[in-house]
């Protein structure tokens, strides 16, 4: 070991003793300096080509430009840069709670046609697809989502769709024969029992599973806006129920009853959500239906209840967000 160190020391002395060694030192230092400057220069040139810098050049402060570039795809960033203008909502919109990156251009376009709409409303309306767009067409409901499938005006079920299994409600739960998927029947029975204990009133199922053909007949005889077209009704999934009570069997008096208020406050504990709440009805263009519950399971109903959103908003943000 000692010999190795002595050998290294001896070699080093020989290098330093050579006159040419000290002559090369200034060139080495200059070379290193030149290399450092080149690397810095390259970094500058590269940075000036980044989306962050080019967005910043449109008039966004650097931190905002960084945040915007961070959430947009290369294509979206390119589109924003090529428009060449500073959009006042580009930064605040990406900070919205339910912002979805793939909808960025639609948020900006929506704001251009409705500049008084709040950012919150813009995000809601665009996320659920409720905005004018010539490219937009209705699509098949993705039934593989099971109890989280979305059925509405833009997502339809075909004529043949039927739930995997249906179970009849006991006669103490409905005025006439009604069926739903077994989990819905169980959840309703538990909710009915607890509502009776709390309010003394007996919740009843007015309408549950309806086939495509049933829905055609209902649509023909219903008030405008209170029944969906066949294929667009959640009742075809076996996951929706219309509820009133023995004490208030008609829908509208039921809406003002103590048991209806109790149901709205507690239905999420049993896996149900109020599918068409009053709060968002005007914004999303549907009628308020205090009686219509949709089963989604307790984890989802709890989240929807706590966040105060509709199922359409939930689906757009938590289920469909990554889909391009």
Minimum distance from residue 142 beta carbon to Zn ion (Å): 21
Instruction: Using the rule CB under 5 A, give the single segment among 90-98, 189-197, 286-294, 311-319 that binds Zn ion.
Output: 286-294
Q: What is the DSSP letter of 79?
A: H
Considering the complex, state which of residue 248 and residue 292 has its C-beta at the smaller distance from Zn ion. Answer: 292
| Separation CA 305–CA 144 (nearest Å) | 24
Which strand (E) or helix (H) includes residue 180? strand 179-180
Considering the complex, state which of residue 199 and residue 215 has its C-beta at the smaller distance from Zn ion. Answer: 215
312 binds Zn ion, rule: CB under 5 A:
no
Minimum distance from residue 125 beta carbon to Zn ion (Å): 23
152 binds Zn ion, rule: CB under 5 A:
no
Q: Are the beta carbons of 89 and 116 closer than 8 angstroms? A: no
Instruction: Using the rule CB under 5 A, give the single segment among 31-39, 111-119, 258-266, 287-295 that binds Zn ion.
Output: 287-295
Instruction: Using the rule CB under 5 A, give the single segment among 29-37, 130-138, 157-165, 292-300 that binds Zn ion.
Output: 292-300
Minimum distance from residue 284 beta carbon to Zn ion (Å): 16
Considering the complex, state which of residue 93 and residue 296 has its C-beta at the smaller distance from Zn ion. Answer: 296
Give 30: exposed, middle or buried? Use CB within 10 Å, 0-12, 13-18, 19+: exposed
Considering the complex, state which of residue 103 and residue 215 has its C-beta at the smaller distance from Zn ion. Answer: 215
Site string for Zn ion, 228-247 (x = CB under 5 A): --------------x-----
188 binds Zn ion, rule: CB under 5 A:
no
| Separation CA 269–CA 178 (nearest Å) | 23
| Separation CA 265–CA 253 (nearest Å) | 18
Show the tokens assigned to 94: 């990406």
| Separation CA 294–CA 152 (nearest Å) | 12
Minimum distance from residue 208 beta carbon to Zn ion (Å): 9
Name 279's Cβ contacts closer than 8 Å, sequence gap at least 6.
308
292 binds Zn ion, rule: CB under 5 A:
yes
Q: Which residue has the closest beta carbon to Zn ion?
A: 292
Show the tokens assigned to 213: 């053909």
Considering the complex, state which of residue 242 and residue 313 has its C-beta at the smaller distance from Zn ion. Answer: 242
| Separation CA 175–CA 248 (nearest Å) | 12
The residue ranges that bind Zn ion (CB under 5 A) are: 242, 292
């Amino acid at each position: 070991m000692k010999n190795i160190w002595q050998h290294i020391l001896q070699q080093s002395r020989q290098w330093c003793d050579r006159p040419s060694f000290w002559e090369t030192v200034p060139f080495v230092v200059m070379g290193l300096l030149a290399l450092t400057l080149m690397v810095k220069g390259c970094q500058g040139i590269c940075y000036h080509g980044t989306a962050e810098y080019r967005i910043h050049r449109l008039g966004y402060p650097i931190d905002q430009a960084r945040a915007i570039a961070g959430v947009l795809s290369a294509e979206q960033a390119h589109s924003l840069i090529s428009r060449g203008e500073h959009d006042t909502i580009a930064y605040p919109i990406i900070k919205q709670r339910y912002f979805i990156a793939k909808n960025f251009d639609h948020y900006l376009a929506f704001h251009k046609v409705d500049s008084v709409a709040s950012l919150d409303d813009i995000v809601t309306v665009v996320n659920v697809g409720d905005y004018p767009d010539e490219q937009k067409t209705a699509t098949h409901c993705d039934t593989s989502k099971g109890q989280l499938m979305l059925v509405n005006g833009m997502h339809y079920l075909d004529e043949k769709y039927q739930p995997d299994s249906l179970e009849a409600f006991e006669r103490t739960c409905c005025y006439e024969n009604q069926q739903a998927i077994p989990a819905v029947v169980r959840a309703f029975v538990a909710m009915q029992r607890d509502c009776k204990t709390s309010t003394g009133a007996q919740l009843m199922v007015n309408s549950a599973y309806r086939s495509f053909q049933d829905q055609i007949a209902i649509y023909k005889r219903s008030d405008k806006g209170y029944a969906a077209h066949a294929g667009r009704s959640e009742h075809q999934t076996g996951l929706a129920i219309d509820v009133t009570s023995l004490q208030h069997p008609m829908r509208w008096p039921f809406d003002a009853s103590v048991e209806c208020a109790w149901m709205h406050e507690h239905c999420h504990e049993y896996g149900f959500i109020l599918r068409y709440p009053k709060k968002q009805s005007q914004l999303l263009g549907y009628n308020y239906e205090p009686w219509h519950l949709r089963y989604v399971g307790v984890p989802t109903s709890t989240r929807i209840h706590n966040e105060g959103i509709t199922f359409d908003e939930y689906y757009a943000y938590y289920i469909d967000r990554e889909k391009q």
